[in-house]
Amino acid sequence: MAEADRLHVGGVGHLLWAARLRADGRLGPGVRVFRHGSATAVVSPGLSGRDRIAVHGEADDVLVLVRDEVLAETGPGYRPFGDAELIAALVRGTPELVAADGPGFLWMETMERPSDVPPGVVWLDVEGEREAAGLFGDGFPDSYARPGRPGVRRWAGCYGLDGGGALLAVAADAWSGAGCGFLAGVVTRPEARGRGLGAAVSRFVVDALVREHGRAALMVDSDNTAAIGAYRRAGMSGRMFAAAARAWGSAGPRR
The 10s digit of each residue's pLDDT in 118-143 is 888 999 999 999 999 999 987 788 89
Q: Domain range spanning residue 31? A: 2-99
Same domain for 74 and 148: no
pLDDT band at 162 (very low <50, low <70, confident <90, very high): low
Same domain for 53 and 120: no
Q: Is residue 252 part of a domain?
A: no
Question: What's the distance, Cα to Cα, between the start and end of the chain in Å?
Answer: 32
> What span, in angstroms and rounded, lies between the C-alpha atoms of 202 and 121?
10
Give me the number of domains the chain comprises.
2
pTM: 0.92
Same domain for 124 and 21: no
Same domain for 178 and 79: no
Q: What is the CATH number of the domain that holds 115?
A: 3.40.630.30
The 10s digit of each residue's pLDDT in 28-58 is 999 999 999 999 999 999 999 899 999 999 9
The 10s digit of each residue's pLDDT in 227-251 is 999 899 889 999 999 999 998 755 6
* CA trace torsion 162, 163, 165, 170 (10° rounding): 130
Q: Is residue 104 part of a domain?
A: no
